[in-house]
Amino acid sequence: MKDISISVKKKDHEIKTSGRAIYVADMKFEGMFYAKVIRSTIAKGKIKEISLPNIPDNYYIIDAKDIPGKNALKIVESEQPIFSEGNIEYMGEAIMMIVGPDKRKIEELSEKIKITYEEEEPVFTIEEAYEKLVSYHYEKGDYKKAFQNADEILEETFITGYQEQAYIEPQGVIGIYENNKITIYGSMQCPYYVKEAVMLTMGMDDKHVQVIQNVTGGGFGGKEDYPSMIGCQVAVAAKKVKRPVALILDRKEDMLVTPKRHPARLKYRVALNNKKEITAIEADIRTNAGAYLGLSGVVLQRALIAAIGVYKIENLYVSGAAMKTNTVPNGAYRGFGAPQTFFAIEMLMNHIGEKLGLNPLEFKKKYIAKKGDTTATNGKYHYHVPLDEMIDKAEKISGYSKKYKKYSKPQTGRYRRGIGMSLFLHGCGFTGSAERDYIKSIAKLVKNEDDTVEIFVSNTDMGQGLHTTFSKIVANTLGIPLEKVYINNPDTDKVPNSGPTVASRSIMIVGKLLERAAKKMKEQWKPHEPLTIIEHYKHIDLIPWDIEKFQGDAYPAYSYGLNVVEVEVDMLLATTKLLGVWGIFDVGKAIDKNIIMGQLQGGMLQGIGYASMEKMENKNGQIYQANMTDYMIPTAKDTIPFNIELIDNPYEGGPFGAKGAGELPLVGVAPAYVAAVENAINKNITEIPLTPEKLMEKL
Amino acid sequence: MVKGYYPKTINEVLEILSMEEEHMLICGGSDLMVTKKFAQNMIFINQIEELKEIKEDSNKIYIGAGCVYKEMIDNEIIPEVLREAIKHIASPAIRNIASIGGNICNASPAGDTLPVLYAMDAIIVKAFINKDGNLYITRVPICDFILGVRKIALEKNEMVIAIEIDKESYKNMTYSYYKKVGGRKSSAISKLSFVGLMKIENNIIKDVKMAFGAVGPTALRSREGEKILIGTKISDIEEKKEAVINFYDKLIIPIDDQRSTAKYRKKACLNLLNDFITYKN
């Protein structure tokens, strides 16, 4: 059998390169209506009066009164209305929708709707916010005593900004109501999330709601929860007008109202003993949740679990809160809370190391966790932690320590150089026991009479190559050609619920189910006889997770990463040029080398953007950079080829030893980039994005 | 109903423009298309050969208003510093369709050819047909053509047919300097830009031309500021530097917007100015 990592042509290669892929905006149904959402123009208050123009025949207003079930969006809790019932919590909140046959007429009508409000005092920032939508804290060891006995206490606060997913395809859905059944088509990551949300909003049961994923042009977390919102909105409309209803956001609307990465403020205190060793860390992590809880609680959990990065610190106090503000609700973006925390902990460790006159890496090495050590939450590193080998490899290919020493000497002239390194990990799958308690994944394999095999799962390919990697796992396990295995975009009427496509879980969790199913199928394989195998999730319970106490194994396994970034700073303009970017990753085993490289390069480039140029501000409640001209993501000219190497560290819980890889590459780039700039200019930096405007203030 | 025209000659365009109705001229459309304002009559001028001419005589160069950036980058008649500026505009796809005439007539504060054209005292060549049916050509300096943010001195019956640049304005310069600062290295609207041309003879600054982009309603050039430097000995530049920088510090009044801050724009402009005037030291 060939090594599974050897790359193949992607399953969706032909359809995408030929332009034949059908995205939701390409779909037309007979008699289809278009929808436009009417949104609040204030950040907080009550609707006083709505004055509507004359609505012509064939045009309809859809609002909260049309909702047959609950006016509540099911995400984690169901606190957010589908359409406002009079209360406004953020600018852009949906109040009603106009649907009809002609988009221009809809535009015209929407301009004539006049809404008056009774405005209330909004809050926009973490500093102003006073309401915690959710909070957690945990302890380890005796942090109080460690701080009491400290020889020195250091304090530092870190600030991180918004980040917009900037998927190439804006969000969109189509809802159809026929024979007392709702069908939703759309661009999405999680068909069953949309289905459950629509069931609640429509008051319909499992059998009467169907969700079908279209070819999806990128998600990066941004299509985890929001498709549920627009899915519910078109479902309500489709039932009322008895026609297919399409709601396709344009780029500006998408950027204004869909969830982004949480801005965060991370306060750290560190106790050092008289040998200048870290004895305790206290961290307080606040995120800007926006107006509703949404995914903010689970994002915060990841942020808190990562509080001490890859290190072993005996005494801890970690607390955090998702703060309510009157801004667009934030949500998932690749990394899910971890990029914020890794920026803080890595910069903190660099700063302490440098303060002690050490190469930051030498300082960090003393604290790196090893197999058998306890995690921050008193779980355990059950498997080999390969960071030492990864550091050796990084030194060899990037020359980090030598360059660090060279660039640390005083530099003069317009252009100055620096290098930075970061160490990080990412827990694979859902936090704690959620896979067992909530997700309960089911995967199905069906062998047809012609000995082809179809994969039935609810996980989506959004460009990350899942159709190909899942097919490879099944084909390789069965020992049949890849062409004999196929998979379609999920349709909830056909596929079991194998869970959402989030949390770096698809390959490790669902891929494992498919591997097990394929093994069973192989055992029972009889040529030309149909066969169906259904496989359920089996939990590997190590140290049980207790969410109340925030204790135990937060994840079954971790993927590890190391980044090195080398930059040149132009002292006149405070701009930077990348000289080298290195990434060493342990993803267990690559199911497809090309696909993994695509994931790693793409994620790292998003990390470069997060660190340097992706600036998004909220001005008086509104996103200020709401188009792709003003919100800058790196182009090919802003980057250079990355040097990426993989470490083989197979994990028994994943198919062929594979672990999660989706989020990992974004998690650690920002601290490596910022450390490189610090090295060049010899100043400490505690905030991202480090735009030229920010950097200029330091020069 | 809106009408679309595909004239083949400048004369045909001018005839359409002399009609009563309102018309919009569209060449590459790279600025107009994103505005999505198409509810008016359009005259498509990207197929007119006469507008694509680039030629020179002993005194000046002539650039047809319909020349696209790519053609200009590849043409050695075009001054090096203008080609340098154009290379940093947008992306290859845009540079294949966007025209110099369009960049001028769009009159954006961040139009990237504008500072260079200001520095070279470019002349805008306009044409119209009078009621008697005769063709008239008029010439106006670019600084008088661009009146403000998206405001130009162009009558309803007029069109810009070319740009003329006096060779004296760039040919005998000792060195030229251009820098665009955008949010990224491609497909970025300028946060600021700077162009400088300097002529040094016998160690004395004989001539200097400097302009800034994206830090005011339109490109910013000050002859008064340039005069401070003209006649200065190279060895005395350090002494004059402060006066020049102070002068421009007062002159440049940028704004905060979604792309950058006033503070950054000012600082970066002055740093580039300083770098330019001390370049040969």
Query: Which of B213, B194, B235 shows the shortest CA–CA distance to B107?
Result: B213
Clarify whether residues A325 and A421 are in a common domain: yes
Pair (A439, A527) in one structural domain: yes
Which residue in A576, A693, A699 has the most chain B C-beta atoms within 10 A of its own C-beta, making it the best mutation to test that interface?
A693
Mean pLDDT of chain A: 97
Q: Beta strands A172-178 and A152-160: pairing type? A: unpaired
Residue B105: phi, psi to the nearest 5?
-70, -20
Q: Evaluate whether residue A379 is within a structural domain.
A: yes
DSSP string, A577-644: EEEEEEEEEE-SS-S-HHHHHHHHHHHHHHHHHHHHT----EETTEES--STTTS----GGG----EE
Preferred mutation among B185, B193, B194, B277 to probe A, highest tally of A CBs within 10 A: B185
> What are chain B's domains?
49-168 (3.30.465.10), 172-277 (3.30.390.50)
Tokens of A353: 């190391």
Residue A313 lies in a domain: yes
Counted domains in chain A? 3
Cβ–Cβ gap A574/B268 under 8 Å: yes
Tokens of B188: 């970025």
Q: What is the pLDDT of residues A243-289, one digit of tens each?
A: 999 999 999 999 999 999 999 999 999 999 999 999 999 999 999 99
Phi, psi of B272 (to 5 degrees): -70, -40
Average pLDDT of span B16-21: 92
Nearest CB among B91, B181, B184 relative to A634 is that of B184
The answer to the question of residue A14 being in a domain is no
Q: Do residues A564 and A417 both lie within one domain?
A: yes
Q: Both A511 and A406 in a single domain? A: no
A558-597 residues touching B, CB cutoff 8 A: 572-575
Q: pLDDT at position A542, please?
A: 82
For chain B, how far is it from start to end, CA to CA, in angstroms? 63
Last residue in a domain, options A477, A505, A536: A536
Instruction: Please indicate, yes or no, whether residues A307 and A185 belong to a single structural domain of this protein.
Output: no
Q: Are A182 and A211 in contact (CB under 8 A)?
A: no
Q: Name the β-bridge partners of A73.
A: A80
What is the rounded distance in angstroms from the CA atom of residue A106 to the CA atom of residue A114? 15
pLDDT at B1: 78
The domain of A467 spans: 434-536
The CATH number assigned to the domain holding A681 equals: 3.30.365.10
Residues A491 and A574 grouped into a single domain = no
**CA closest to B257 among chain A residues:** A624
Q: Do B185 and A638 touch (CB under 8 A)?
A: yes
From B22's Cα to the closest Cα of chain A, the distance in A is 23
Taking CA–CA distances from A413, the nearest residue in chain B reads B275
Mean pLDDT (whole number) for A488-517: 97
Count of C-beta atoms within a 10 Å radius of residue A456: 21
B139 CA to chain A: closest CA distance, Å? Answer: 34
Which pLDDT band holds residue A1 (cuts at 50, 70, 90)? Answer: low
Question: Does A561 lie in the same domain as A667?
Answer: yes
Q: How confident is the model at residue B280 (pLDDT cuts 50, 70, 90)?
A: low
Cβ-based neighbours of B37, under 8 Å, separated by 6 or more: none
Chain B: residue whose CA lies nearest to A691 = B183
pLDDT for A539 equals 87
Interface membership of A637 toward B (CB under 8 Å): yes
Q: Do B185 and A632 touch (CB under 8 A)?
A: no
Residue A629 placed within a domain: yes
Q: Are A202 and A291 contained in the same domain? A: no
Interface touch B189/A629, C-beta < 8 Å: yes
Q: Does A635 touch chain B (CB under 8 A)?
A: yes
A452 and A505 belong to one structural domain: yes
pLDDT in tens, A73-85: 999 999 999 999 9
Please tell me the predicted confidence (pLDDT) of residue B148. 96
Query: Can you give the pLDDT at residue B281?
Result: 52
The rounded Cα A496 to chain-centroid distance in angstroms is 24
Query: For the residues A416-426, what does the mean pLDDT come to?
Result: 98
State the average pLDDT over residues B107-118.
Answer: 97
**B195 HSE (CA, 13 A, CB side):** 27
Q: What is the pLDDT of residues A4-49, one digit of tens each?
A: 999 999 999 999 999 999 999 999 999 999 999 999 999 999 999 9
User: Tens digit of pLDDT for each residue in A393-418?
Assistant: 999 999 999 999 999 999 999 999 99
User: With an 8 Å Cβ cutoff, is A638 touching chain B?
Assistant: yes
Chain A CB contacts of B188 below 8 Å: 632
| A612-663 per-position pLDDT tens digit | 999 999 999 999 999 999 999 999 999 999 999 999 999 999 999 999 999 9
Q: Which of A92, A69, A359, A110 is nearest to A239 (CA)?
A: A69
Query: Could you tell me which residues come within 8 angstroms of residue B103 by beta carbon, excluding any fewer than 6 positions away?
Result: B31, B89, B111, B112, B113, B114
Question: Smallest Cα–Cα separation from A218: which of A654, A672, A633, A637?
Answer: A633
Q: Note the pLDDT of residue A573.
A: 98
Contacts of A390 (CB under 8 A, 6+ apart): A423, A560, A561, A562, A584, A586, A647
Say if residue A565 is in the same domain as residue A426: yes
CB A273 within 8 Å of CB A149:
yes
Residue-wise burial string across B22-35, b where 16 or more C-beta atoms lie within 10 A, e elsewhere: ebebbbbbbbbeee
- Residue A573: which of B181, B259, B263 has the nearest Cβ? B181
Contacts of B261 in chain A (CB under 8 A): 693
pLDDT category of residue B36 using cuts at 50, 70 and 90: confident
Question: Per-residue pLDDT for B218 more than 70?
Answer: yes
Interface size between A and B, measured as CB pairs under 8 A:
50
pLDDT digits (tens, 9 = 90+) for A438-447: 999 999 999 9
Domain boundary residue among A514, A536, A558? A536
Q: What pLDDT score does B40 carry?
A: 85
**Is the minimum CB–CB distance between A692 and chain B shorter than 8 Å?**
yes
Q: Calculate mean pLDDT across residues A297-322.
A: 98
Taken in order A95, A100, A103, A106, is the CA torsion positive or negative?
A: negative
Amino acid at residue number A103 = K
Q: Is A150 part of any domain?
A: no
**What strand order describes the sheet that includes B158-166?**
B54-56, B60-64, B158-166, B123-129, B135-141
What are A173's strand-pairing partners? A186, A247
Mean pLDDT, rounded, for B195-220: 96
Q: Does A419 share its domain with A438?
A: no
B185: pLDDT confidence band, cut at 50, 70 and 90? very high
Instruction: Kindly list the residues from chain B whose CB atom is less than 8 angstroms away from the CB atom of residue A573.
Output: 179, 181, 268, 271-272
- pLDDT tens digits, one per residue of A360-370: 999 999 999 99
Res A268: pLDDT: 98
- Report the gap between the CA of A697 and the closest CA in chain B (Å): 8
Is residue A154, in this structure, part of any structural domain at all?
Answer: no
What would the mean pLDDT of B56-62 be, rounded to a whole number?
97
Compute and round to an integer the Cα radius of gyration of chain B. Answer: 20
Residues A343, A238, single domain; the answer is: no
Show which residues on chain B lie within 8 Å of chain A, measured between beta carbons.
91, 179, 181, 183-189, 191, 258-261, 263-264, 267-268, 271-272, 275
A613 at interface of B, judged by CB pairs closer than 8 A: yes
Domain-terminating residue out of A536, A566, A600 = A536
* A15 within some domain: no
Our CA dihedral for A310, A314, A319, A320, rounded to 10 degrees, sits at: 0
Residue-wise pLDDT for A94-133, tens only, equals 999 999 999 999 999 999 999 999 999 999 999 999 999 9
Q: What size, in residues, is chain B?
A: 281
Residue A153 belongs to some domain of the structure: no
